[in-house]
């Protein structure tokens, strides 16, 4: 039995624009997916999922995800949950040169599914690491990130970026621009997350931005402007002392950029009433900045606030079902048990 875990993430800046080669800066957070893998004597894969906003399910199949678990949940989420595990299995088999390897897999996660916190990336990253280790063929974190990206690219019909999987594999803060992925140093930013209990349709949202970008020059310019915001934020982080707590001046500058980023994402049609309500609740509570994180359409916002005020305000905001402080996850994917 091998157990590996990988963290979720929030975007400081850059979601959606990163799909078009603009830079993005996501940060890993201490909300984790844990994947337990036990090799089997046949080529079947048995997946038991818990805590995936799906009320739990178990399904066994022989190399495809045509057999769907019977749960009272949107089937697109079920298909995604099994699809990501299936893609991770294929990558692990290929990496270990074991095309007929079978596995019993248990997935546990405290990352809400489809909420913009990188739940699928964390499951795929942890799954590839656990499965290759269980087969006696471990691979390094960068190779895990590369293969996890390939898995997400497959499941998301070519609309994935490397940001989520690289951040989950490496931990900390990272910068992604096209195929260029690097870790960056950052202070331990006071991140607060608000969750509306929903989940956006990533494919539909990404497709909508693509249609706008291809139809209107001003939409293409908006995507490029998000890239400019990322570069400004990156420059601020580069001047900060990663060993010191960020001061109010740095937080105010970063927060202002986050606010601008949210406005541009709203203009591209990927926000939602619940997300906007949480963003404004955070700002009114004194947060230095707040924005949606992830694909949008529902899910989560992230705010910068070292005080308890934003978390308190969000907990009383209509439509917010959970609010929590998100600590930066220094560790990326890691082994929990062997």
What residues act catalytically? 164
| DSSP code, position 21 | T
User: What's the length of the chain?
Assistant: 338
Return the closest-CA partner of residue 52 out of 89, 97, 95, 106: 106
Q: How many CB atoms lie within 10 A of CB 202?
A: 22
**Cβ contact 27:186 at 8 Å:** yes
Q: Which long-range contacts (CB under 8 A, 24 or more apart) does 71-77 make?
A: 74/199, 76/201, 77/53, 77/113, 77/114, 77/199
| Helix residue ranges, H only, 20-99 | 75-96
- CB 191 within 8 Å of CB 304: yes
Residues 6+ away with beta carbon under 8 Å from 108: 33, 34, 35, 36, 50, 51
d(CA 24, CA 28): 13
Question: How far is 117 from 110, CA to CA, in rounded Å?
Answer: 10
- CB neighbours of residue 44 within 10 Å: 13
């Amino acid at each position: 039995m091998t157990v590996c875990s990988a963290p979720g993430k929030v975007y400081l800046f850059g979601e959606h624009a990163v799909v078009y080669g603009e830079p993005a800066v996501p940060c890993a957070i201490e909300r984790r997916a844990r994947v337990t893998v036990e090799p089997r004597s046949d080529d079947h894969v048995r997946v038991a999922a818990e805590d995936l906003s799906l009320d739990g399910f178990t399904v066994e199949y022989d190399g495809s995800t045509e057999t769907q678990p019977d749960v009272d949940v949107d089937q697109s989420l079920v298909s995604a949950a099994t699809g990501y595990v299936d893609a991770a299995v294929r990558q692990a088999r290929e990496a270990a040169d074991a095309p007929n390897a079978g596995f019993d897999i248990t997935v546990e996660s405290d990352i809400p599914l489809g909420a913009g916190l990188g739940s699928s990336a964390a499951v795929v990253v942890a799954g590839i690491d656990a499965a290759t280790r269980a087969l006696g063929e471990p691979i390094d974190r960068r190779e895990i990130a590369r293969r996890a990206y390939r898995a997400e690219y497959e499941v998301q019909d070519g609309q994935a970026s490397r940001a989520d999987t690289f951040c989950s594999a490496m931990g900390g803060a990272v910068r992604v621009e096209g195929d260029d992925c690097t870790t960056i140093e950052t202070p331990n930013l006071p991140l607060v997350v608000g969750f509306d209990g929903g989940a956006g349709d990533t494919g539909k949202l990404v497709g909508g931005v693509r249609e706008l970008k291809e139809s209107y020059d001003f939409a293409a310019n908006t995507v490029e402007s998000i890239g400019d915001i990322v570069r400004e934020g990156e420059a601020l982080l580069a001047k900060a002392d990663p060993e010191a707590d960020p001061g109010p001046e740095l937080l105010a500058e970063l927060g202002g950029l986050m606010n601008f980023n949210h406005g541009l994402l709203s203009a591209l049609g990927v926000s939602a009433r619940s997300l906007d309500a949480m963003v404004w609740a955070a700002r009114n509570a004194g947060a230095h900045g707040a924005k949606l994180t992830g694909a949008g359409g529902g899910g989560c916002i992230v705010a910068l606030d070292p005080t308890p005020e934003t978390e308190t305000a969000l907990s009383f905001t209509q439509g917010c079902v959970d609010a929590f402080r998100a600590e930066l996850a220094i560790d990326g994917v890691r082994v929990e048990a062997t």
